[in-house]
A and B are shown apart, each in its own frame.
Chain A
């Protein structure tokens, strides 16, 4: 036997003291009872002989993915989306339970597609359900920020994992304030979307294809994420550096389109101005990059790793590697944060959007330490930001060697949320988010920090426990 160089003590402090008295270093676990009602399921899942290897496999699969920007296409082409088909953020939901911002975005989307002349007329259309259908972005390898509404004519970024050819999709970011994804549908919102469809989308397609087909190859979105995390972005609420790096990579080809494709100079200038003025433009690349990586871990039996966290403004849902496509849902929470203008908590809609895919992949709130400015959304301090990232390591399976946090000695971001660890510690994933107005048409009212509803993790755990082979049912 070799002398223990450390004793990890979990339980009675007195036993730790007895070891410390022998001059042996002791690491004391701050153990607390698990979430209520989870002890039996935790034991069943812990005993699942598949779990450890399955989680290693899920984590490795996710970390093995790189996302490259290979195309920009209308949703009708990229996903075969038909007129009347609408994608939305979060787990499945119908019009009857859809919250204000999602309704507003759907109404604006219906107007954009010409299904109605006036967005206000769309409510009746969705109520009747005739000729319209709603489906989560996640069910189509896509993600959408906030309301996440995608219609056939909207242009999407197409990301691809070069190793497998798998793809993921996300819309183009409209900017902040009164925008469709926050539920606004005023004429200026529709006008902007039309410009994005007529000018920005086709121009980006030319530029992205030119870059893709050049010697340099397609824009490496995963690589930009690596760099931006070292430049103060956490890639959810802060995407400044990422947006500028994307501009750096695309603008020569955008300008080149003036000569090669006869795109008007004014259009290129306007597109460059639009992207450069929108600090969140890169968010819509960060999200599908995370989606692409996490989808690689889906369907691994026995794995307790979360592969999606998403909200539709009414429900917060998670999906887990070992439970197939099942959603585990609970009520979406209100964010704690700061409000624009006169808006206050009573104006805010509960948490909405697929953007929590960033936290699911270990960035956003999980990488708070690398973007300390974000913590001020709740009046926190820089030590709070460091503590948040460290805390997320308590509920994750590993670290991302690509995405590291300089101020934490380049420790990798906490990656692969483990349902069992959430249930054991009661530590909930920390999500950075924007806040949409509660009423359709309002738009953004603030930004802040939010957590999932705690009960969805015990729900997922219970299902994982049911799926353990040979489990004794009594």
Chain B
């Protein structure tokens, strides 16, 4: 035999909650133990229809301002607990959550720039370092918002670089990059940037570590740099034709603090060089072209030319030597670099002094070949340390040549892992430590640690290379 499940229908005149709250309360109550069905609702005609459809008998006097609690239970004993559950659910529905509404961060560059424009950011700059396939879209946000943008990302397709820089040129926006590692904008460093005092020089650089070498040398010579604007390694190519270089030159020309502009680049195509020279000649500020390549001055020579043009003395570039000296056995020069321009400068200097051949190698661990799936070696030194150990164990290695690049963005204490590794090396080691006294890592401290580990440390990368070659020559 079966008896109908017990039901409970109760009117609560004057109790009110909105329909959404009550739907929620009903759902909670339906989930309570011993409850088969539940509806907590204001007794509107629609709800009475729903309740009737569920098999509840609603008292005739029920009106839209009455709260109805209708329950169907497994047995009558469940009633008290179910009603307590209704009361609790009604209270919970009106709970106050005092948790502060945290504003979620922006999800796109466009959104971030819009938000910053609402507050202070009238001179906001965007810094893009997402994977290359996505960098263009983020950078376009900045260009369309009329904001300068530095694109740190590499692997940006050339047609996207062109589209970005054309759109930027139309709006008078500066695009630094793609593959731009270093910029200093009126004293603020972006990417890998050294701490320098403001001064009469403005730099336009198609190379990141080349720019950092120049910053470091000028800083040592007591000459400040107001801004150093990277433009990316392809800007002076025959395709891009200096779109960003022109804008960067124009900006520095407009800056009254800049007395001399230095343009560092690999030699562009001849017609592009002519175009840029023509543009540079139209500016009020003199422009020193430092074009790097075979048969041309190296970065240190370029820095010296800048100093002479400013009428400053050229100092002796610092060299710190270790206490003892390591025996040199015959072998090749092994250059292990984190800076791309520094690696090619070393290779160039070496080929001029040693000629081709001889098995000398100059590896840039910042090259795509080594950075796929891992951070740049200026951030994560592990890959170079692996290769260092391998080179040190190789009997064909005569002298080791390394660079250490300091500044914002670079690892906080490069000597911490490098010095112990160098201490265990038998061959002579020459290191170019590119940085300034003001850099967060402190150049002096880094140099001391490396010298204590037996390395000879230079500020000039070209100088370090020449010294390494000199050491190699001692075996001949």
Measuring CB to CB, which residues of chain A are less than 8 angstroms from any residue of chain B?
Answer: 1-12, 14-16, 18-19, 21-22, 24-25, 27-34, 39-40, 42-43, 46-47, 49, 52, 175-178, 338-342, 373-374, 376-377, 379, 381-383, 386-387, 390-391, 393-394, 420-421, 424-425, 427, 446-447, 472
Q: How far is the CB of A273 from chain B (nearest CB, A)?
A: 11
Q: B23 to A340, Cβ gap below 8 A?
A: yes
User: What residue of chain A has the Cβ atom nearest to residue B162's Cβ?
Assistant: A47
Q: How far is the CB of B384 from chain A (nearest CB, A)?
A: 18
Chain B interface size, under 10 / 10 to 19 / 20 to 34 / 35 or more: 35 or more
Q: Which of B20, B107, B130 contacts A11 (CB 8 A)?
A: B130
A374 vs B186: C-alpha distance when bound (angstroms): 49
A12 vs B111: C-alpha distance when bound (angstroms): 18
Q: A379 to B24, Cβ gap below 8 A?
A: yes
Q: How far is the CB of A409 from chain B (nearest CB, A)?
A: 10
Given contacts A22-B188, A52-B144, A394-B106, contact A43 B160 (CB under 8 A): yes
- Decide yes or no whether B394 CB sits under 8 A from chain A: no
Q: Which of B93, B157, B187 contacts A376 (CB 8 A)?
A: B93
Q: Which of B3-30 contact A (CB under 8 A)?
A: 18, 20-21, 23-24, 26-27
User: What residue of chain A has the Cβ atom nearest to residue B257's Cβ?
Assistant: A1
Q: A6 to B129, Cβ gap below 8 A?
A: no
Q: How far is the CB of A345 from chain B (nearest CB, A)?
A: 11
Query: Using Cβ atoms and an 8 Å threshold, which residues of chain B touch A22?
Result: 188-189, 408
- Give the contact stretch, choosing among B112-120, B233-241, B298-306, B454-462: B112-120
Q: Which of B26, B103, B153 contacts A390 (CB 8 A)?
A: B103
Query: Using Cβ atoms and an 8 Å threshold, which residues of chain B touch A339?
Result: 23, 27
Query: Using Cβ atoms and an 8 Å threshold, which residues of chain B touch A391?
Result: 104
Q: How far is the CB of B436 from chain A (nearest CB, A)?
A: 14
Query: Using Cβ atoms and an 8 Å threshold, which residues of chain A touch B142?
Result: 8
Q: A5 to B127, Cβ gap below 8 A?
A: no
A33 vs B140: C-alpha distance when bound (angstroms): 16
Query: Using Cβ atoms and an 8 Å threshold, which residues of chain B touch A386?
Result: 101
User: Most B CB atoms within 10 A — which of A29, A43, A175, A421?
Assistant: A29
Q: How far is the CB of B333 from chain A (nearest CB, A)?
A: 32
Given contacts A18-B409, A43-B160, contact A3 B186 (CB under 8 A): yes
Q: B160 to A1, Cβ gap below 8 A?
A: no
Q: Which of B119-136 contact A (CB under 8 A)?
A: 120-131, 133-136
Q: A29 to B105, Cβ gap below 8 A?
A: yes
Q: Which of A25, A340, A420 contacts B120 (CB 8 A)?
A: A25
Query: Using Cβ atoms and an 8 Å threshold, which residues of chain A touch B126?
Result: 7-10
Q: A24 to B188, Cβ gap below 8 A?
A: yes
Q: Which of A11, A47, A176, A424 contacts B129 (CB 8 A)?
A: A11
Query: Using Cβ atoms and an 8 Å threshold, which residues of chain A touch B100?
Result: 383
User: What residue of chain B has the Cβ atom nearest to residue A33's Cβ?
Assistant: B134
- Decide yes or no whether B361 CB sits under 8 A from chain A: no
A28 vs B103: C-alpha distance when bound (angstroms): 13
Q: Which of B399-417 contact A (CB under 8 A)?
A: 408-409
Some 24 contacts from A to B, beta carbons below 8 A apart, are A4-B185, A5-B124, A6-B121, A8-B126, A10-B112, A10-B129, A11-B128, A25-B120, A27-B116, A27-B121, A31-B130, A33-B131, A42-B134, A43-B137, A46-B163, A47-B159, A176-B46, A177-B49, A373-B20, A394-B108, A421-B110, A424-B107, A425-B107, A447-B20
Q: A3 to B121, Cβ gap below 8 A?
A: no
A32 vs B130: C-alpha distance when bound (angstroms): 9
Q: B128 to A1, Cβ gap below 8 A?
A: no
Q: How far is the CB of A239 from chain B (nearest CB, A)?
A: 13
A5 vs B185: C-alpha distance when bound (angstroms): 11
User: Most B CB atoms within 10 A — which of A15, A177, A394?
Assistant: A15
Query: Using Cβ atoms and an 8 Å threshold, which residues of chain B touch A2?
Result: 123, 186
Q: Which of A8, A32, A373, A425 contacts B124 (CB 8 A)?
A: A8
Q: B160 to A12, Cβ gap below 8 A?
A: no
Q: A1 to B127, Cβ gap below 8 A?
A: no
Q: A19 to B20, Cβ gap below 8 A?
A: no
Q: How far is the CB of B174 from chain A (nearest CB, A)?
A: 9
A22 vs B99: C-alpha distance when bound (angstroms): 32
Closest 10 CB pairs of A and B: A11-B129, A6-B121, A338-B23, A18-B408, A47-B163, A4-B125, A6-B124, A383-B101, A30-B105, A3-B186
Query: Using Cβ atoms and an 8 Å threshold, which residues of chain B touch A447?
Result: 20, 23
Q: Which of A46, A177, A382, A387 contacts B137 (CB 8 A)?
A: A46
